[in-house]
Every structure is written in structure tokens, then in C-alpha cells.
A = this chain, B = another copy of it.
Amino acid sequence: MKFRRSERLIDITHYLLEHPRQLVPLTFFAERYGSAKSSISEDLAIVKETFEQRGIGTLQTVPGAAGGVKYFPRVNEHEARQFIANLCDQLENPERLLPGEYLYIMDLLGNPQIVHQVGKLIASAYAGAEIDAVMTVATKGIPIAHAIAAHLNVPVVVVRRDSKVTEGPTVSINYVSGSTKRIQTMVLAKRSLKEGSKVLLVDDFMKAGGTINGMISLLAEFNATVAGIAVLVEAEYNEERLVEDYISLMKLKDVDIRQSAIKVVEGNYFTKNISFL
């Protein structure tokens, strides 16, 4: 069965979107469509150009016998700025205010389109990094971690506050929560992370950085290393933060309970050296 170019372009687009950062040999597509490799090369040139123009991502061609093509999700700067500005607006809604100056954000974390785009933005920032896994702490970070991992094509590892029978043997550590200075526990199933992994740490919210710092201590128990740190929202914090090099999409500047006012601005995302489309 022969495929026309139009059909190939549609199927290649779908296939690459579902297999980011994975080397796909040209012969795979050539056999899939019964086409010459030269035709596939032309298809891929069209896909690459369109992906870049439309802010979808980019294709990297690896030459040689073991070569092929890799799709990297990437965003264009203008769209990323619009998306984050819109998220900031949503976060400033005073109805989100909860006692203790907490903000309700479960609706944002439960919205698949928002979570998907957050994942794409953060994955784009680590497009060039070597990452073996994305780690987060249950439960609010899980959707973001999965959205990032889907774009990086790596597994998600979920740390818990307590151990469960369905996890098997675990490694646990104690750490000091950054802002409240309380001793807390973190638990990770032993088999869930390979020794020596390079891990992207992710959370929905960071203030002093205690939770992230706890995950860093946990990594040490697995001889694993930090490949990056990314949070959806960081809070303004005047004391010394426990975590230095991180990416945040938004920054919570101020919460005024009496005025029912929340001030949210862009995080440090655009100050990082991200190669946008």
C-alpha cells in the first residue's frame, strides 16, 4: 500500500508528537509508507519548517547509518509570554484566597490544556539537557510532572510523605521545611529510581525551597543528581532561599488578606537562556 505525501505528513506529525526526543530512523517511516528515503527526507523538511513556524517545536536530523530524526517540543517566546500573562491574571483572582494566605490552584492543576502547556514550556527550557526522570512530591505536583515528562519522554517518579504497602521497600529521609522550620519526612520506593539518574525536580509551589531541598537529599541516597529544578509558582521570599538555580513560570509577589488582593508576575522563566522558536 502506497501513501500520498499528504497522508504521510499527517501521520508523521502525529507520530513525532507522540514520540518526542526519540530518534526515529528514516527507514522506519520509509517502511511504514512504502516510500523512498528521499521522499521521507522531503516530508521531514516540510514538517520541520511548519513546526518551527507554528511554534510546535523543531526537528533535529542525525546523519549517518544510525541516524534519523528527533522531535523536540519548543515554544515561541510571544506565545509563552501570552500564556504566562494569562495564567498570572487567573492567579490574581481574589476568590483564590484561603486562610493562612494560601491560594486555591486545584482548578488550574486540573485543567488538561493548561497543564499540557505548562509541561511544554518547562520541557522546552530543558530541551538540551540530559534528563532521565522527572521527580515530584505527591500530590499537587503530579499533573505538572507528568506533562513535563510526556514532552521529555522520560518516566515520572513520585515521592510521598508516608510509605504505602503498594510501593515495596522504600528509602526515607527527614528534612527541614524551609519556611516553618519543621522536621518532615519524604519517602521514595527503592525500585522507582535507577542509581545515578539525572533528575528534573518539579513542584507546583516553592517558597523557601524546603520541599525541593528534601528531594535533593533523597537523590543523594540514590546516587542521583539534579538535572534541573522547575516550579509553577515561586513565592517572594526575603530570607535566604535553600535552592539556587531554578525556573519558575510565575512569581507570587504579594498577598493582602485585608484588601483581598493578590499580586502575581512572570517568574524568572524568560531570564533563563531558553532557545525559543
Chain A residues with CB under 8 Å of chain B are: 5-7, 9-11, 13-14, 17-19, 46-47, 49-51, 53-54, 56, 98-100, 102-107, 110-113, 115-116, 138-140, 142-143, 146-147, 149-150, 153-158, 160, 165-168, 189, 191-192
Contacts and interface: CB of A to CB of B under 8 A. Distances in A.
A168 B110 contact: no
* Chain A interface, >50% SS class: helix
B160 A143 contact: no
A69 to B, nearest CB: 14
Copies in the complex: 2
Most buried by B among A13, A165, A191: A13
B146 A115 contact: yes
Which 4 pairs show the lowest CB-CB distances between chains A and B? A112-B150, A110-B156, A10-B50, A13-B13
A96 B191 CA distance: 10
B7 A10 contact: no
Contacts of A13: 9-10, 13-14
A46 B112 CA distance: 28
A181 to B, nearest CB: 17
Given A13-B10, A51-B10, A111-B155, A104 B168 contact: yes
A124 to B, nearest CB: 15
